[in-house]
Amino acid sequence: NSSVQISPTGTLVLRHFNLSGVYTCSIVYKLTAMQPDKNLIIKYLIYAYSDPKNYYEFTAQYHAAPCNSSHNTSFEKALLQILSKLVAEISCEITLIKSECHHVKMQRGGLQNEIFFTFSVASLDREKHNRLCQQSSCDASHRLNKAKHLIERFFKQQVEVSRKSSEPLPQIYYIEGTLQTVRVDHCYPGYGMNAQIHPDCPECC
């Protein structure tokens, strides 16, 4: 079994396992050729560690067309395409979590329509995408931070373009200052983080 080896000094080595639990090791041995077999059963409680899946979650608000308008749907598709293109070269992907249109009461402007977007950016596994990568710039965490920077810059540029333009604002536009970013460390089902039980790896799942 490639995941279990016994070293010449008698050390039991377990590799590439991903399930925590009680592992039973049973040994049959003889001290001398003349003696009967002896049995020894040892039980180990083994913890499997895995790195959390990190991603960034963004929320942003846009001034919108009336909530039942097809313009909002077209805009949503276009926005996701732009964001996806922005991070595709660094092997990251954008996922829309939710998009909601609401009538918002303004202090001086009466009711207005706003779209609340929530989306995430995560780095893709390079090995699964057949891209051999050795440099530090290929590290998943590095790529994820670069994607975050690109997205934040994209929203900042929208504000700068609106300020410089002498044209009236379009029907759908980004509301300055509404972009919020949260980093999420997500463990796979069955895993959790506990710094007290596992002080040697508090950030592991």
Q: Where are the alpha helices (DSSP H) in 53-139?
A: 70-88
Asked whether residue 192 is domain-assigned, the answer is no
Q: Lowest mean pLDDT: which of 17-26, 97-106, 117-126?
A: 17-26
Gyration radius of the chain over CA positions: 27
Total domains in the chain come to 2
Query: Same domain, yes or no, for 71 and 104?
Result: yes
- Per-residue pLDDT at 9 exceeds 80: yes
Max mean pLDDT among 7-21, 76-90, 114-128, 159-173 falls in 76-90
Q: In this predicted model, what pLDDT tens digit does every residue of 159-194 receive, in sequence order?
A: 998 888 888 888 899 999 999 999 998 888 878 888
Query: Same domain, yes or no, for 22 and 87?
Result: no
Asked whether residue 82 is domain-assigned, the answer is yes
In sequence order, the β-bridge partners of residue 158 are none
Query: Same domain, yes or no, for 76 and 96?
Result: yes
Reported as a pLDDT band with limits 50, 70 and 90, residue 124 is: confident
Q: Per-residue pLDDT averaged across 121-136, rounded?
A: 61
Query: Same domain, yes or no, for 158 and 74?
Result: yes
Reported as type and span, the H/E element at residue 34 is none
- Per-residue pLDDT at 129 exceeds 50: no
Query: Same domain, yes or no, for 41 and 64?
Result: no
Q: Lowest mean pLDDT: which of 11-25, 57-71, 93-107, 158-172?
A: 11-25
Nearest to 62 by CA among 192, 203, 173: 173
Query: Same domain, yes or no, for 179 and 120?
Result: yes
Which pair of structure tokens corresponds to residue 72?
């909002």
Query: Same domain, yes or no, for 165 and 141?
Result: yes
Q: How far apart are the first and last CA of the chain?
A: 26
Query: Same domain, yes or no, for 72 and 171?
Result: yes
Query: Same domain, yes or no, for 27 and 91?
Result: no
Query: Same domain, yes or no, for 72 and 11?
Result: no
- Per-residue pLDDT at 100 exceeds 90: yes
Reported as a pLDDT band with limits 50, 70 and 90, residue 93 is: very high
Asked whether residue 197 is domain-assigned, the answer is no
Question: How does the average pLDDT of the chain come out, rounded?
Answer: 86
Asked whether residue 201 is domain-assigned, the answer is no
Query: Same domain, yes or no, for 83 and 117?
Result: yes
Residue with tokens 């964001």: 83
Query: Same domain, yes or no, for 154 and 93?
Result: yes
- Give CA 171 to chain center in angstroms: 33
157: domain CATH number?
3.30.70.360
Q: Per-residue pLDDT averaged across 31-36, rounded?
A: 89
Asked whether residue 200 is domain-assigned, the answer is no
Q: Which domain holds residue 41?
A: 4-46
Reported as a pLDDT band with limits 50, 70 and 90, residue 147 is: very high
